[in-house]
Amino acid sequence: MLPLGTQRVNEKGHLEIGGCDTVELAEKFGTPLYVLDERAVRERCREYRGALETRYPRKVKVYYAGKAFLTLAMCRLAAQEGLGLDVTSAGELHTALQADFPPEDIALHGNFKSEEEMRLGIESRVGRIVVDSRIELEQLAALAAEYRRTVPVLLRLNPGIKAGGHEFIETGHIDSKFGLSISTGQALQTVQRALELPHLDLRGVHCHIGSQILATEPFGRTAEVVMEFLAEIRRETEAVLTELNLGGGLGIRYTPADDPPSVEEYAEVIVTRLLRAAERHNFPLPTLMVEPGRSIVGEAGITLYTIGVIKEVPGVRTYVAVDGGMSDNPRPALYKARYEVFLANRAAEEPTQVVTVSGKHCETDTLFEEVVLAPPQVGDLLAVQSTGAYHYSMASNYNRFCRPAVVLVREGQAEVIVERETWEDLLAHDALPTWLRD
């Protein structure tokens, strides 16, 4: 197993996380269960701030990308660690505001912001609105005028960079719905238009090239391309923009085969390339912003399942079914994602048997294909590594499953931060039309 964060195997041979025995967590809170290691989250926040703040001689702001995992408790952790927050919908923004997240530290994203979302952003005085299209620019300017406010904005660029990750989560290449392309001239035209609009205060530019990127070069190249673009803006418009947001995207370890760069290596590359490019263009260093999501919470989370059925298809494979599936983890189906799994109640035992773990949905919902476990038995507890990001946040109620609880652990304490859904929750929004009531 890959022991991540505070994980260890205790004297009983059980996986422990945040000082809590996972077998006890499963008994107390039930399964499937998402467990989040508070110390691991805080350490990653500090690593990001430390790595960038010590290297970059101007202001740095790390925004946590809430799409990875957002709840009231997570907002509090990010705020306590001095991070800003990237939100991408009215729902995420509402969550942040309910957690008393400082609005000035929130950046509002989205390639199609509804009027409601833009209004909520303006009314709550979020720190930055990241404009993604020409249409949005005009709409936002009109709304800002209506409120008689000047709204601080960044413009999302498409830097034309293809970077790793699954093709569904690549975002920075030319054929993408996100941002405005530098190479087609649309980005510059939109900058020129933004500078004309009195109610928008164009502070800088933003880009995000993709997710689960396992190399540093694409980030370094992006830093250069975007810095060159700031110099081009100055040449063409005389405006010297002062903020540069490089988005998120740093990959994590899902299996021992993944070897992501450390946060230090990532910071070293982007800062070095940025400083060099700024010097080359004689451009004053902008505030540097980044938006990691997965690399803040991903490795801090595990999922616990109970094994319920073991079925051997002779000569083919052994299927092990767990009490969850694509409703709590759609990533294998969506991205062919692979994971490190092991028996949490027998974590010290040698893994010797190849099995395929499936969920319990009415689908061929293979979760973990051909993984090696200690010979599993019904009732064993299966732990899945690196499920802190894009698991709870992407969970659904398919087949009317109740979404699992999320428990935060630290120093032997475990508390629920999201309650397990109930059958009442499942029916809470159902309604019967009058003609079907008797």
Our finding on whether 346 is near ligand LLP (CB under 6 A) is no
Exposure string for 254-287, b = 16+ CB within 10 A, e = fewer: beeeeebbebeebbbbbbebbbebbeebebebbe
How buried is residue 434: exposed, middle or buried, by Cβ count under 10 Å (0-12/13-18/19+)? exposed
Q: Please tell me whether residue 152 binds ligand LLP under the rule CB under 6 A.
A: no
Can you list the positions of beta strands (E) in 141-208?
A: 151-158, 180-181, 200-206
| Binding window for ligand LLP (CB under 6 A); candidates: 25-33, 97-105, 285-293, 377-385 | 285-293
Task: Out of 20, 75, 207, 362, pick the active-site residue.
Answer: 362
Query: How far is residue 44's CA from residue 177's CA, in Å, rounded to a whole number?
Result: 30
In this structure, how many other beta carbons lie within 10 angstroms of the beta carbon of residue 423? Answer: 9
Q: At closest approach, how far in Å is the CB of 353 from ligand LLP?
A: 28
Q: Contact with ligand LLP (CB under 6 A): which of 5, 159, 247, 261?
A: 247
Smallest Cα–Cα separation from 307: which of 343, 339, 283, 332?
343
Q: Which stretch binds ligand LLP (CB under 6 A): 17-25, 270-278, 287-295, 338-346?
A: 287-295
Those residues whose C-beta lies under 8 Å from the C-beta of residue 154, and which sit 6 or more positions away, are 107, 128, 129, 130, 131, 202, 203, 204, 205, 206, 243, 245
Residue from 37, 43, 47, 86 that binds ligand LLP (CB under 6 A)?
Answer: 86
CB 212 within 8 A of CB 190: no
Please, which residue, 261 or 351, has the CB nearer to ligand LLP? 261
Selected from 71, 95, 158, 295, the binder of ligand LLP by CB under 6 A is 295
User: Of all residues in this chain, which one has the CB nearest to ligand LLP in the complex?
Assistant: 248
Contact present, 221 and 274 (Cβ < 8 Å):
no
Cβ neighbours of residue 91 under 8 Å, at least 6 residues apart? none
- Show the site string, 62-81: x = touches ligand LLP by CB under 6 A, - = not: ---x-xx-------------
Measured between alpha carbons, how far is 16 from 20 in angstroms, rounded to an integer?
5
Contact status: 248 vs ligand LLP (CB under 6 A):
yes
Enumerate the H helices of 185-216 as residue ranges: 186-196
Which residue from 380, 338, 388, 336 is spatially nearest to 7, judged by alpha carbons?
388
Give catalytic status of residue 362 as yes or no. Answer: yes
Span from 36-44, 306-314, 318-326, 389-397 in contact with ligand LLP (CB under 6 A): 389-397
SS3 content of the chain, % helix, strand, coil (to 5): 35, 25, 40
The reply to whether 158 sits near ligand LLP by the rule CB under 6 A is no
Q: Residues binding ligand LLP: what is the number (CB under 6 A)?
A: 23
* Binder of ligand LLP out of 208, 221, 273, 410 (CB under 6 A): 208
Minimum CB separation from ligand LLP for residue 336, in Å?
11
**Stretch 33-52: interaction string toward ligand LLP, x if CB under 6 A:** --------------------
From the list 338, 301, 384, the residue with the least C-alpha distance to 71 is 301
Chosen residue from 66, 249, 301, 324 binding ligand LLP by CB under 6 A? 249
Q: Which is nearer to ligand LLP, 5 or 332 (CB)?
A: 332
How near is the Cβ of 65 to ligand LLP at its closest, in Å? Answer: 3
212 binds ligand LLP (CB under 6 A): yes
Of the candidates 49, 113, 128, 331, which one interacts with ligand LLP according to CB under 6 A? 331
Tokens 């701030």 -> residue: 49
Nearest alpha carbon to residue 356 among 309, 321, 381, 391: 321
Q: CB-wise, 5 or 251, nearer to ligand LLP?
A: 251
Cα distances (angstroms) measured from residue 279 to each of 53, 245, 273, 275, 383: 19, 18, 10, 6, 49
Catalytic residues: 362
List contacts with ligand LLP (CB under 6 A).
65, 67-68, 86, 109, 169, 208, 211-212, 247-250, 291-295, 331, 335, 389-390, 394
